[in-house]
Amino acid sequence: MDKARGTAIHDKKYETFIQWLQANNFPESKLVLANFTNTGRGMMASDDIQAGEVIVSVPRKFLMTNESLSKIYGSNHALSSHQLLALHLVMLKQDKQSWWKAYIDLLPVHFNTMPVKYTQSLLDHLPTALKEQVSQQKENIYSDYLACLAYLKSNPAIIVESIQPEDYEWAWLCVNTRCIHMTKMEHSAKGGNIALAPMLDFLNHTTEAKIESGYNVRNQSFEIKTLTPYRKGEQVYINYGPHDNLAMLKEYGFVLSQNCYNFVLLDHEVWTLYEEMETKQGFDVKKQILEGAGYFGDYSIKDDEISFRLMAALRLLALDGATEPGFDRKVMDWHDVVMGQTDMIDPENERKALIMLQSICNRVARQAEEEIETLAHITEKHPEAEFHPFALYFLRQVWNESNGIITQTLADVKEKLATL
């Protein structure tokens, strides 16, 4: 785990936050807010922390949960937890007298490293799969905004200033990047039982952190226990889950420099090759076979792994005569491989499938190299656009990682071809 030391934050907002916690009997912890050169703001150990220690314990009164929100908004509405939490944050931000003000004042000011906030000139350079997901996320935020407006319209007793789409988007992204998943608490709502918990939401992510977390009914608090020890001055992390860097970028607006979950999705390239190599009828036949066997889509490569699904799709593509008599016999051989009864259909089929993979990888490598080159000069090309430096850095990293995985795969394929 990275051992970079941080610089403790001592500004007025943080002092007010600490006073608010203390005034409301928030349990003492060995965590202080600090800036780190590698991750930005996060939590630093103010003392040594042993493996097995509870690092933060958030009492029920500090949790924004379905249950606490239902006391304000009732339960007779169709809003999801995410929609309602975001609406609640907007209202708290508007309320200068709110009990939560010290916490609200410490929330991020902007989310400019999140793809959903990219300008078009940067959006154009996202990997295709992510581009589609980001545009879907943007639509989701807007439709959640409209759902909240409709809810407020039908509940005139809830007094609120007008809510602009950008206010709601800020709150929605706060929830998306900071929520916890409540376990062991009743009241599960539409969209999962998510909640906001001040203090623990200042903890950054690493895949190496080992933690246990959940709602402790004995002391009515949401607790995080670390199974990793820390020395005083080090950054304390939690683990947000097994996400690859594209998912991290989309959901949290950052990427990790080392991420064992990274992969490159090749669906788009596989279908392009199917279209190039098959007649419409042949494509339909093979598509049906893939669907029937549960092998339709999700074709990926990792640093040390070519997915079985991808090879299955390419082995099928490498079988000729999809519309000719006798193809059923060949498909039975293909099924034998899919079922794990044999390793390959025959060396010739395997060779063809691997050469197709080479061709796909070469295409993706060319695209990645072009993107890396373009992104290196994008600020000169778009002097008018103000790119967040980290947004650009993360996007370049994503392309460099893809390139690394593809280079490794090409080397593996070459080795496999040599043994056939």
Ligand X SMILES: C[S@@+](CC[C@H](N)C(=O)[O-])C[C@H]1O[C@@H](n2cnc3c(N)ncnc32)[C@H](O)[C@@H]1O
Quote the least distance from Cβ 143 to ligand X, whole Å: 22
Contact, 272 vs 234, CB < 8 A?
Answer: no
- Residues ≥6 apart with Cβ < 8 Å to 94: 160, 161
Question: What are the Cα distances from residue 25, in Å, to 21, 60, 262, 387?
Answer: 6, 12, 42, 42
Quote the least distance from Cβ 179 to ligand X, whole Å: 8
- Give whichever of 397 and 407 is closer to ligand X, judged by the CB atom: 397
Nearest to 394 by CA among 179, 111, 139: 111
Quote the least distance from Cβ 357 to ligand X, whole Å: 33
Stretch that binds ligand X, among 18-26, 188-196, 253-261, 321-329 (CB under 6 A): 253-261
User: Does 206 interact with ligand X (rule: CB under 6 A)?
Assistant: yes
Query: Using CB under 6 A, which of 4, 9, 39, 73 touches ligand X?
Result: 39
User: Does 241 interact with ligand X (rule: CB under 6 A)?
Assistant: no
Site for ligand X in 73-132 (CB under 6 A): 108
- Give whichever of 155 and 258 is closer to ligand X, judged by the CB atom: 258
| Residue 88 CB neighbours (<10 A) | 20
Distance CA 163, CA 317 (A): 53
- Give whichever of 39 and 135 is closer to ligand X, judged by the CB atom: 39
Quote the least distance from Cβ 25 to ligand X, whole Å: 23
- Which H helix or E strand runs over 384? none
User: Does 2 interact with ligand X (rule: CB under 6 A)?
Assistant: no
Query: Using CB under 6 A, which of 66, 204, 213, 226 touches ligand X?
Result: 204
Residues touching ligand X: how many (CB under 6 A)? 17
- Give whichever of 75 and 258 is closer to ligand X, judged by the CB atom: 258
Contact, 86 vs 223, CB < 8 A?
Answer: no
Site for ligand X in 266-325 (CB under 6 A): none
Distance CA 408, CA 401 (A): 11
- Give whichever of 100 and 151 is closer to ligand X, judged by the CB atom: 100
Backbone angles phi, psi at 289, to 5 degrees: -65, -45
What is the phi-psi region of residue 297: left when phi exceeds 0, alpha when psi lies from -120 to 50, beta otherwise? left
Quote the least distance from Cβ 226 to ligand X, whole Å: 15
User: Does 252 interact with ligand X (rule: CB under 6 A)?
Assistant: yes
Contact, 26 vs 169, CB < 8 A?
Answer: no
Nearest to 242 by CA among 254, 228, 259: 259
Instruction: Work out the burial of residue 354: count CB atoms within 10 Å of its CB; fewer than 13 is exposed, 13-18 middle, 19 or more buried.
Output: buried
Query: Using CB under 6 A, which of 42, 115, 198, 282 touches ligand X?
Result: 42
- Give whichever of 108 and 214 is closer to ligand X, judged by the CB atom: 108
Query: Using CB under 6 A, which of 145, 254, 274, 299 touches ligand X?
Result: 254
Residues that bind ligand X (CB under 6 A): 39-42, 108, 177-178, 201-206, 252-254, 256
